Structures are given as C-alpha cells and as structure tokens.
C-alpha cells in the first residue's frame, strides 16, 4: 500500500522551483517538507529587517512557509514535531510516520477492497437494460473521456488500463450522485492508479512497451485507486456539482491573493512582486477564469509533467481539510513563476 501524504522527503515539484528568481513567487510558499525544516539551520543573526524596518522578502516567505507547515496540525502534533526536530539527530522514519495521513493495509482497507470487488459485478458488469437512463448517460461520457485521459502518457493508452479507468470513474459517479461523473475527474485518478500498479510493471512508465497485469493485481490497484480518489474529492466535491461553485470560489481566492495590497504577512510580499503582472493582465483584457478554470478543475495535472503530478497528489492528500487553501498557493506559485 502506498503511503499517501508523506511529507518526510523533498518533493520533485519543490526542488524544481528552488532556483526560480525571487522576482517571482518564491516556491518556498508551497514547501511543506518537514525534513527540509529539520535540515535548515536556525535563522542567522545577520538576517535582520531592512533599514526601513520592513521585513525582507526572504523573511516574509519564510514566515509564510512556517504558517503553511503548521496550519493543518493540532497542538499535540506540533509538540511531537517540535520534540523530533529538536533532537541532535532527527529520526526521519519517526518524522515520516508522524507526517503521514494515508491508509495502511489492515482490516479497514481489506473491507474497502471487498466492497469495491462487489461493486464491479453488481453495478458495472450488468446489462445496459438494467441501468437507469442517468447511469447509462454517465457511462457513455466516461467511455468518451477515458481514451483522452493522460494524453501523452503511453501507460494509459493500454486497453487494460483504459478499462480499469472506465470502471473506477463510472462507479465513483454513481456512488456520488450529488455531482456524478464530470469531465476532468478522469485525470484525477491517474496518479493513484499509476502508483499502485508501479510495483507490478516490467519497465518504466514512459516506455512504449505494453504491460499486461494479472487480474488480481489489477483489481487490487483499482480498489486502492478508487478509495484514494474518494478521499481526494471528498473535500472538493463542490468543484463538480451544478455550476461548479467550488471552482469559482478557488479562482476568486487566487485572484484576491495575486491582486492584494494588504500590508502584512504574505500579502505584503505578494504586492511587491506582482503589480506589473496584474497590470499586464488588465492591459490584455484577461480575466482569471479564462485561464485558471482548467487548472482548478484538473488540479493542475494537465499543466505539469506526470511524474511531478504524483508528488503533488501526495501533498494534496497530506493537507487534508486544508487542501483548498494549499491549492490556492500552488496555483499562485504556478502562475507567477
């Protein structure tokens, strides 16, 4: 079982952004890796405010990172992290265990796997006449979308993988009638399925060679991917309900963050770097929904290399109920770097 939400190792996404010019949004705003915190020395006494008494951009970014790191922790968790990080030699295994918010193999996951196994024959492997009109329409939409999923990743062009995606997406849709299946959700499940099938692959994911997975491995990976998709979408299902209010709110928060002129915290740092960018958008007549709707709908998976998406998904899950807030900062970083 993949340990989702592992914050103990630096993410590829974060590493890739470390060298970006400070004139753009510093990538440390989305750095959540506690191992990096442990490895970083205390602030040097020479890191003082500038001559005008205003915090430097580096200090503001550092404060934003610390706030981001701690916002989803209880006081007990904070105390445990503090004790671990104060040790002369940090126990990374203990740090990973404390940071992890995923699911271990056990009675609960075995029960969920059994439930998924029952769904397939009961709800998917049935005659078309047994489906409602709504379910039949949803299945047809899934069938249309699956071949277009993860375009450019040969792994998902395989017929066996596409059939697996079809089952997962259709079953998720009929089990979540508030939204049902919506275009865009097809991309969100791909990192999960890839990770759970990776141990059974004969070559690298980018290879053109087709891998035929044993049926038992396939159904186990499907079940895990299905329940991880449920966990990912539980907090953002209003992204996919009628009129997609969740997406609209996220786009509004992003625009508010980028355009803000407040004189405190991260907002002050944001104001210092994005005024020319904001003026550029206005001069071109561009509105945020025009170019950010797809970003939010697909959680950026279509905009970044697939391998980076796997790491980003790990952090989405680690954020738990604060995923929306984290997503806004990721979008800002992506927009301004």
What are the extents of the domains in the chain?
12-99, 107-234, 245-336
Query: What pLDDT was estimated at residue 82?
Result: 87
Residue written as token pair 């949004």: 25
What would the two tokens of residue 150 be?
Answer: 């993860």
Give me the torsion for CA of 88, 94, 96, 99, rounded to 10°.
Answer: -100
pTM given for the model: 0.67
Residue 258: predicted pLDDT = 82
Angle at 300 between CA 157 and CA 318, to 5 degrees: 100
Report the alpha-carbon distance of residue 189 to residue 45 in Å, rounded: 47
Cα 101 to Cα 108: distance, rounded to the nearest angstrom: 15
Position 123 scores a pLDDT of 95
Q: Residue 229: its pLDDT value, please?
A: 94
Which CATH number does 245-336 carry? 1.10.472.80
Task: Give 107-234's CATH code, choosing from 1.10.3720.10, 1.10.8.270, 3.40.190.10, 3.40.50.720.
Answer: 1.10.8.270
Nearest 5°: the CA angle 237, 243, 247 is 55
Round to whole Å and give the CA distance between 113 and 221. Answer: 9
Q: What is the mean pLDDT of each run of 10 residues along the chain (337 residues)?
A: 43 36 33 34 37 45 44 68 89 80 63 93 94 94 95 90 97 94 94 92 68 91 94 90 93 84 45 66 87 93 91 87 89 87
Q: What is the pLDDT of residues 95-126, one digit of tens each?
A: 877 776 555 555 567 888 999 999 999 999 99
């Amino acid at each position: 079982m993949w340990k989702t939400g592992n914050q103990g190792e630096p993410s590829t996404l974060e590493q890739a952004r470390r060298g970006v010019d400070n004139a753009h949004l510093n990538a440390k705003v989305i750095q959540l890796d506690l191992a990096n915190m442990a490895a970083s020395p205390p602030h040097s006494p020479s890191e003082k405010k500038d001559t005008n008494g205003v915090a430097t951009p580096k200090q503001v970014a550092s404060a934003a990172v610390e706030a981001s790191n701690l916002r989803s922790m209880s006081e007990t968790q904070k105390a445990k992290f503090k004790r671990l990080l104060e040790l002369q030699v940090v126990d990374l295994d203990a740090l990973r265990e404390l940071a992890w918010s995923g699911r271990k193999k056990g009675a609960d996951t075995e029960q969920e796997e059994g439930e998924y196994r029952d769904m397939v024959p009961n709800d998917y492997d049935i005659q078309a006449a047994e489906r409602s009109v709504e379910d039949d329409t949803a299945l047809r939409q899934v069938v249309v979308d699956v071949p277009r999923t993860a375009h450019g990743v040969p792994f998902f062009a395989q017929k066996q993988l596409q059939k697996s995606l079809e089952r997962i997406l259709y079953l998720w849709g009929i089990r979540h009638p508030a939204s049902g299946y919506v275009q865009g959700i097809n991309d969100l499940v791909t990192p999960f399925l890839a990770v759970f099938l990776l141990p059974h692959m004969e070559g690298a994911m980018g290879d053109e060679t087709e891998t035929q997975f044993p049926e038992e491995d396939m159904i186990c990976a499907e079940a895990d991917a299905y329940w991880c998709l449920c966990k990912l979408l539980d907090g953002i299902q209003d992204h996919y309900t009628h009129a997609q209010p969740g997406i609209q709110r996220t786009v509004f928060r992003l625009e508010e963050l980028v355009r803000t002129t407040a004189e405190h915290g991260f907002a002050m740092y944001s104001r210092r770097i994005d005024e020319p960018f904001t003026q550029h958008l206005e001069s071109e007549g561009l509105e945020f929904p025009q170019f950010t709707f797809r970003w939010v709908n697909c959680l950026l998976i279509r905009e970044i290399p697939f391998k980076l998406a796997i790491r980003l998904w790990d952090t989405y899950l680690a954020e738990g109920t604060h995923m929306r807030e984290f997503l806004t900062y990721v979008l800002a970083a992506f927009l301004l770097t």
